[in-house]
A = this chain, B = another copy of it.
Amino acid sequence: MVDTAPVKSETSAPATPGQPHRVVIVGGGFGGLYAAQSLGRAPVEVTLIDRRNFHLFQPLLYQVATGGLSPGDIASPLRSVLSSQKNTQVLLGEVRGIDPDEQMLKLKDGETVPYDSLILATGSAHHYFGNDHWEAIAPSIKTIEDALEVRRRIFLAFEKAELEPDPEIRKALQTFVVVGAGPTGVEMAGAIADLAYETLKDDFRNVDTHDTRIILVEGMDRVLPPFDPSLSKRAAKDLEKLGVEIRTGTFVTGLEGEKVTIKTGDHVETISSHSVFWAAGVRASSLGKVLSEKTGAPCDRAGRIMVEADFSVPNHPNIFVIGDLAHYAHQGDKPLPGVAPVAMQGGKYVARTICDRLKNKTTPPFVYSDSGSLAIIGRNSAVVDLNWTKLTGYPAWVIWALVHVMFLIEFDNKVLVMTQWMWNFFTRNQGARLITGRDQIKSDQAFMKQ
């Protein structure tokens, strides 16, 4: 095993002359999928490997977690998205090893996949800052399964409260703590408030859903830390209007059973809650570590690969890293943020770079086109920073909705999903608030076998 592999030729000719250049993309998120789509008509052979068989429209995952949409509404089978690209194959598999010398990937089941150019786009996973045992208590919202588990817990908490005679326990069941006030945490807190105070208000007989407490905990001094402070201020105001209690400058120091311990400065408080959700931290996918070990590529603290200006790995011009797995610090004074547009633009740029190289053309440097950032707060409120202007409240909500509708339609023609979603919005109908999961039926099966 070597730490740094020999530099490959920039043109990365295929192993067998005459064979098309083999581009292997790992990860079918925004970065990997846009790279694959950009290579659809290129004279290359594309292989997209993902461990899931679908692309997930992550920005709407919080809607699954709160019962507004079904998983199928925000996921598109990778095969059907790419089925018309004749040069592309999709493999369901998990990459476990990278051999830059042999230009080969190793899959979990032992199979190997050779490449001429490699694009790694495996994104990020949640991160509990060394408290991995917190995961069982406070699930995060990164995968479909996470979202369904969160959905199960939210609706089960209300159901249990309806049956609970003890007012203290009922209070704990109706207390929701969201850890982390980035876009996901803010969306979750706002959506739970909407649910409790509006959607579910007539559904229970013993529970007054207005007694529900939603506490949003953030370590930084304001919600939505990556946004402009004026927008953070407005978001906080809107959240409070929705009924969310905000605790900034506050850290979770303990999570045990149905108790959350939080610390604000020197003040320590213990909150009884049956539903704690984690939206606090992400770290790069584990493949970053594997790549770093094999190529000597430097990583940042979050495990992201410090890439070159063309997204390639230092000394390995035919290995590219894009999206949340990449630390790209060649533009502006901060690394590019871990958002969908950065991944998509990275994917397109890398696809172009590979094509240009095959034609011995030089690719102009990457320029990130930042069209702004947005976060939804509630049913009528969002914050949008378009760089040239800032919007809040209802106008921002309209922009937020339009952007998401456009993406979904462009991407998978999900016109009907969006119609359904708008319908739900206007009727306050959340049809997907099902409590599902194997645990839910296991006990009865055991009983039936008695």
A residues at B contact (CB < 8 Å) = 51-54, 69-73, 75-77, 79-80, 83-84, 89-94, 96, 108-109, 111, 125, 132, 143-145, 148, 155-156, 159-160, 162-163, 200, 202-206, 285-286, 412, 414, 416-417, 419-420, 423, 429-438, 440-441, 443-444, 447-450
A52 to B416, CA, bound (A): 28
Residues of B within 8 Å of A159, CB to CB, are: 53, 92
Q: When the two chains form the complex, which single residue of B72, B90, B449 contacts A70, counting CB atoms closer than 8 Å?
A: B72
Q: Is there an interface contact between B286 and A450, defined as CB atoms closer than 8 Å?
A: yes
Docked-complex contact A79 and B204, CB < 8 angstroms:
yes
A64 to chain B, nearest CB (A): 9
Residues of B within 8 A of A84 (CB): 202
Contact among B80, B125, B420 with A416 in the assembled complex (CB-CB below 8 Å): B420
A-B interface, 4 closest residue pairs, ranked by CB to CB distance from nearest: A72-B432, A70-B70, A70-B72, A79-B203
A200 contact set on B, CB distance < 8 A: 79
**B429 A80 Cβ-Cβ under 8 A:** yes
- Residue ID in chain B nearest A202 by CB atoms: B83
Bound-complex Cα distance A58 to B203 (A):
23
Q: Which residues of B are found within 8 Å of A160, using beta-carbon distances?
A: 92
B286 & A434 in contact (Cβ 8 Å cutoff) = no
Instruction: Decide: A52 near B132, CB < 8 A? Known: A111-B163, A447-B94.
Output: no
The oligomer's copy count stands at 2
Give Cα A110 to B212, complex, Å: 26
- A/B interface sample: 15 pairs, CB < 8 A: A53-B155, A54-B435, A70-B73, A71-B436, A73-B431, A76-B431, A91-B162, A91-B163, A125-B448, A145-B436, A286-B447, A286-B448, A416-B420, A420-B420, A438-B438
Q: Are A436 and B132 in contact (CB under 8 A)?
A: no
With a cutoff of 8 Å between Cβ atoms, the chain B residues found around residue A438 in the complex are 145, 438
CB neighbours (8 Å) of A204 from chain B are 79
**CA–CA, A70 and B436, complex, Å:** 13
- Chain B's closest residue to A68 (CB) is B72
* A96: nearest chain-B partner, CB-CB: B447
Q: How far is the CB of A341 from chain B (nearest CB, A)?
A: 24
Question: Which B residue's beta carbon lies closest to that of A146?
Answer: B441
Cα–Cα distance between A296 and B450 once the two chains are bound (Å)? 19
**Contact of B96 with A145 in the complex, beta carbons under 8 Å:** no
Instruction: Give Cα distance in the complex from A145 to B163, angstroms.
Output: 25
